[in-house]
Structure 1
Amino acid sequence: MKSKGNFGDYSRNFITDVPADLKDEQSLFFEQTIPRFAEEAIYIYSFKENRMIFASGWEEVVGYRDDEINMLAIVNMSAPEFAPFSHDLNDKALQFIHNKTEDLEKYSFTIELKKIHKNGSEVPISARVGVFSSENGKIESIIGRFQINRSLIFGKIMRYAAYGPDKEKFEEELNKILFYHLAISNKEKEALSLVAKGYSFKEIAHELGVSHSAIEKRIIPLYKRFDVKSLTHLVSFAYDNNILP
């Protein structure tokens, strides 16, 4: 089911608008130990404390001071055309990881989207969100890195990727809820790029070290998702919408 309201139906149970106390001991520790690149904003949100516990770089990226930015604001500042997709991705990723109990810190996802600056302008962002800490098999906190990426060319297609020990299942679960969005994952894009080079499904399977059926599962659903009738049409659609370079 697609999310309603300003943010995901599942995520809303875990998100607050409480900003970080940048003067407390843990925030000062993170400031000293977590590297941050130019034009990058970082947050750490604690589910245990129901608040942001660290924020850095937000004024440079989206115009909000580090002591005023909060999780609810970050979620809701997506540009309108990206918001439904972003909300559903956040929801399904959080649900998936909540059902895991091991190696939680190895799970993350990426998304390319536009965020709305405090001054109303649009900012092209490459974002990565992952588990920062866990305790007794449960997520304790997450970390998000939002980097301005001026090289992004946006078409109608949303782009995302999943990472973690159970990466295949993670992406499969994301694909289920994201099927009704015009979106493509890194794994689907990887296979499609080889199709565009003239590889057969069998050759792509060999190249990527997976089964023939695995390639079919990555490519065939794209016909319905993008409303195309043939492989040639699919490749043409991919170029026209900046999925392939």
Structure 2
Amino acid sequence: MPERENFGEYSKTFITAVPADLKSQEALFFDERIPKFADEAVYIYSFKQNRMIYASGWEEILGYRDDEINMLAIVNMSAPEFAHFSHELNDKALKFIHHKSKDLEKYSFTIELKKIHKNGTQVPISARVGVFSSENGKIESIIGRFQVNRSLIFGKVMRYAAYGPEKEKFEEELNKILFSYLAISNKEKEALELVAKGYSFKEIAHALKVSHSAIEKRIIPLYKRFNVKSLTHLVSFAYDNYILP
């Protein structure tokens, strides 16, 4: 079993290696009501119980039985090149949401990465993690969906997105903390796609219904993050690293 020290300092306070009891009334209830899709695994982890309370589809996706998979294993099965970024993202996203008290079930984040199958092979995954339930303004449980996406092509840049009532603040907070990584958010990618099509910052701002300065804040920091000297170089870098199609 992976060591606890391998993942984020904040997350490890809440994560255990206890799998779900799939014969419990709670798990059976979820099994009837949680939608299931092809090439997808689902989990529900309870912070209140400090354990997994539901799991489905894991043997088909990553080789672990549903009564075997646990939160510690899921967090630590990221491929080495994605591990540090994934751990930091989990940490900072969870910390951000923990400071909120309203509409918690509307918060989630996504990340594209590779996970290590139980047989040692790498599986391309589009993962989404969000708040499943809350009580008295505090997170009670989270839900994660791991979709196999073999069309993903990975370069040097990690791709992620944040969602929720305070999406802008959520993503800005993640951007500040993850700046040292080669990473790009959906918001930044959205603006960069229009740059690649030849739009000016003013035109992009109009198209996305934000201010000119908001577009500058999305694009200009990418110069330093990706070590590029111009917009042309930035767009070229984006294509070379499969950020843009």
TM range (shorter): over 0.9
Q: Distance in 1 between matches of 2:177 and 2:61?
A: 30
Query: Is the aligned partner of 1:226 residue 2:195?
Result: no
Q: Which residue of 2 aligns with 1:36?
A: 36
Query: Is the aligned partner of 1:242 residue 2:242?
Result: yes
Q: Which residue of 1 aligns with 2:138?
A: 138
Q: Distance in 2 between matches of 1:62 and 1:107?
A: 26
Partner AA of 1:6 in structure 2: N
Q: After superposition, give the CA deviation of every residue in 1:89-146 in whole Å (9 maximum; x if it has no partner).
A: 0000000000000000000000000000000000000000000000000000000000
TM-score, length-normalised on structure 2?
0.98
Q: Which residue of 1 aligns with 2:188?
A: 188
Q: Which residue of 1 aligns with 2:208?
A: 208
Q: How far did residue 177 of structure 1 move? A: 1.0
What percentage of residue pairs aligned between the two structures are identical? 84
Q: Distance in 2 between matches of 1:176 and 1:87?
A: 15
Q: Which residue of 2 aligns with 1:166?
A: 166
Q: Gaps spanning 5+ residues in structure 1: where?
A: none
Q: Which residue of 2 aligns with 1:75?
A: 75
Q: Distance in 2 between matches of 1:133 and 1:35?
A: 16
Partner AA of 1:84 in structure 2: H
Partner AA of 1:96 in structure 2: F
Q: Which residue of 2 aligns with 1:96?
A: 96
Describe the SS at the equivalent of 1:144. strand
Q: How far did residue 5 of structure 1 move? A: 3.9
Q: Distance in 2 between matches of 1:6 and 1:225?
A: 25
Q: After superposition, give the CA deviation of every residue in 1:132-161 in whole Å (9 maximum; x if it has no partner).
A: 000000000000000000110011110000
Q: After TM superposition, which residue ranges in structure 1, 4 or more long, deviate above 6 angstroms?
A: none
Q: Distance in 2 between matches of 1:6 and 1:172?
A: 26
Describe the SS at the equivalent of 1:22. coil
Q: How far did residue 165 of structure 1 move? A: 0.4
Q: How far did residue 178 of structure 1 move? A: 0.7
Describe the SS at the equivalent of 1:96. helix
Query: Is the aligned partner of 1:8 residue 2:8?
Result: yes
Q: Gaps spanning 5+ residues in structure 2: where?
A: none
Q: Distance in 2 between matches of 1:225 and 1:22?
A: 45
Q: Distance in 2 between matches of 1:184 and 1:145?
A: 21
Q: How far did residue 39 of structure 1 move? A: 1.0
Q: Distance in 2 between matches of 1:203 and 1:11?
A: 41
Q: Distance in 2 between matches of 1:57 and 1:124?
A: 16
Query: Is the aligned partner of 1:86 residue 2:86?
Result: yes
Q: CA RMSD in A?
A: 0.8
Q: Distance in 1 between matches of 2:177 and 2:236?
A: 25
Describe the SS at the equivalent of 1:43. strand
Q: How far did residue 46 of structure 1 move? A: 0.2
Q: Distance in 1 between matches of 2:69 and 2:27?
A: 14
